[in-house]
Amino acid sequence: MNAKELFQIFGDIEDDFIWEASPKTKCQPVKRSVSRWVAAAAAAVMVIIAIPVTAYAVELSQYNAAVAYLASLGIEAGDLSDYSRREVIDAVKTYDAGESNAMIDALLPSDDGKMTVTDQIAQVTSEQVRSLKPTMTCSDVIAALGNTIDIGSGIYILQYEVDGEYLINIPFASDTAQLGVTGDKLLEAKQPIEDSQ
């Protein structure tokens, strides 16, 4: 495989990722008619007040970027009320450089919303499996059948014991991927427990 092929394969990534990274649309500037003298006077006033405002604007811009970064890690802006803007900016700089930071470590959510790990295979009935729908995601299936072991590597493969006799494996490529088949179809692929061992 070469870089060109990888570039083409990359074109088929999940729609959600493409949507999330959409570039902001460019806006055309609004043209206003203002007299030259008014514009010159306004410019002069702006120069007089610009210097102290600039430093504030730079810090504010850095702070907003830091808040956006922390939001992407699951830390809400409201959680930062006990910290100054400079503390938040410095914390993000050190954390993003790969170093640990006490403030961010204290604020990071303990559960990142992903599937919790368990080493217990869940036991379900055929009736429960038949209730599954093709549009269900991984978390929908877990909500319906209960948490179970994940035997996948890189993708999710949920394994359930059915009616005490069979095993079924339910694969999902991502958190947002859909089941794609009915519960009846899944049951067609069930394997006796003794054959699986």
Partner 1 sequence: MEDKEIIALYFARSENAISETALKYGGYCCYISENILHNREDAEECCSDAYFDAWQSIPPHNPQNLKTFLGKLTRNRAIKKLEHCQAAKRGGGQINLILSELDECLPSGSNVEEKLQESVLLECINSYLLSLPALHRKVFVRRYWYTSPISDIARQYAMSESKVKSLLFRLRKQLKAKLEKEGFFL
Interface positions with partner 1 (CB under 8 A): 1-4, 6-15, 17-26, 61-62, 64-65, 68-69, 72-73, 96, 153-155, 173-175
Residue found under tokens 């209960």: 146
Q: Least separation, in Å, of the C-beta of 194 and partner 1? A: 29
CA distances from 179 to 14, 25, 157, 174, 184 (A): 15, 34, 11, 11, 12
Q: Least separation, in Å, of the C-beta of 139 and partner 1? A: 13
Length of the chain equals 197
Q: Which CB sits closer to partner 1, 6 or 30?
A: 6
Q: Least separation, in Å, of the C-beta of 107 and partner 1? A: 14
- Paired with 171 in beta bridges are 157
Q: Least separation, in Å, of the C-beta of 95 and partner 1? A: 10
Q: Which CB sits closer to partner 1, 43 or 65?
A: 65
Q: Which CB sits closer to partner 1, 121 or 157?
A: 157
Q: Which CB sits closer to partner 1, 93 or 187?
A: 93
Q: Which CB sits closer to partner 1, 17 or 127?
A: 17
113: Cβ–Cβ under 8 A, 6 or more apart, which residues? 74
34: Cβ–Cβ under 8 A, 6 or more apart, which residues? none
74, 112 contact by CB (below 8 A): yes
Q: Which CB sits closer to partner 1, 130 or 133?
A: 133
First to last CA, the chain: 36
Give the helix ranges, DSSP H, for the chain: 3-10, 15-20, 36-72, 85-96, 102-107, 126-130, 138-145, 183-188, 193-196
Q: Least separation, in Å, of the C-beta of 164 and partner 1? A: 32
Q: Least separation, in Å, of the C-beta of 8 and partner 1? A: 6
